[in-house]
Chains A and B, each alone.
Chain A
Amino acid sequence: DQQVKQNSPSLSVQEGRISILNCDYTNSMFDYFLWYKKYPAEGPTFLISISSIKDKNEDGRFTVFLNKSAKHLSLHIVPSQPGDSAVYFCAASATGTASKLTFGTGTRLQVTL
């Protein structure tokens, strides 16, 4: 049972344009959501997070939107840069679960020149 789903395995975007990565979840107990970025042969690195009490969080070029009623979140990267090419994982946790994260399967983003 995949509780966190990233239905697009890959995405290609031109440099300077917007990248939109999507994530859906099924567990209504999830109340904290995070995005991680992963380069080959490295561990994932934290990118941005959002609590369920918010519907938007921004950090520079990165914005995460949360739609609780649809159980959907998205990561927007504007403008996209070649260094953004990586695999992006969506993750979720529920209060009282020792911050255990449930991860999606990842979306590989390729930013082309």
Chain B
Amino acid sequence: NAGVTQTPKFRILKIGQSMTLQCTQDMNHNYMYWYRQDPGMGLKLIYYSVGAGITDKGEVPNGYNVSRSTTEDFPLRLELAAPSQTSVYFCASSYSQGSAYGYTFGSGTRLTVV
């Protein structure tokens, strides 16, 4: 049972490059989320999805895009990478609202933009 899988684990991008962070879950969870964590800070919500075909912005969506074509996958797209996007990115999923067990997180993608 893999849970939430994120790829790649590490990536260095040059300013202006683009990339897609992959996230897939095998728990049949409806809700999926992308967070970023900057040093010394809490996790900030970038985008979320409550089901296939439905996405919405979180607290810090600028510079990112998402899609949710299947229940399992929720990729995060960075267009025109900037140094401010250097961060650790976490994908998470949950079964439903108010889940007593909270989110299941992936192990993260550490992204550096130079």
Contact = CB atoms under 8 A, between A and B. Distances in A.
Interface string B69-110: 000000000000000000000101010111111111111100
B1 to A, nearest CB: 15
A34 B50 CA distance: 20
The number of chain B residues touching the other chain, given as a range, is 20 to 34
Nearest to B51: A98
Nearest to A47: B102
A93 B43 CA distance: 13
B107 A99 contact: no
B107 A41 contact: yes
Interface in A44-103: 44-46, 49, 51, 89, 91, 93, 95-96, 98-103
Given A41-B107, A45-B105, A4 B96 contact: no
Given A89-B43, A101-B45, A102-B42, 17 more contacts: A36-B105, A43-B90, A43-B108, A44-B43, A44-B90, A46-B104, A49-B100, A93-B98, A98-B48, A98-B50, A99-B31, A99-B94, A100-B45, A100-B58, A101-B43, A101-B103, A103-B42
Interface of B: 4, 31, 33, 35, 40-45, 48, 50, 56, 58, 90, 92, 94, 96-108
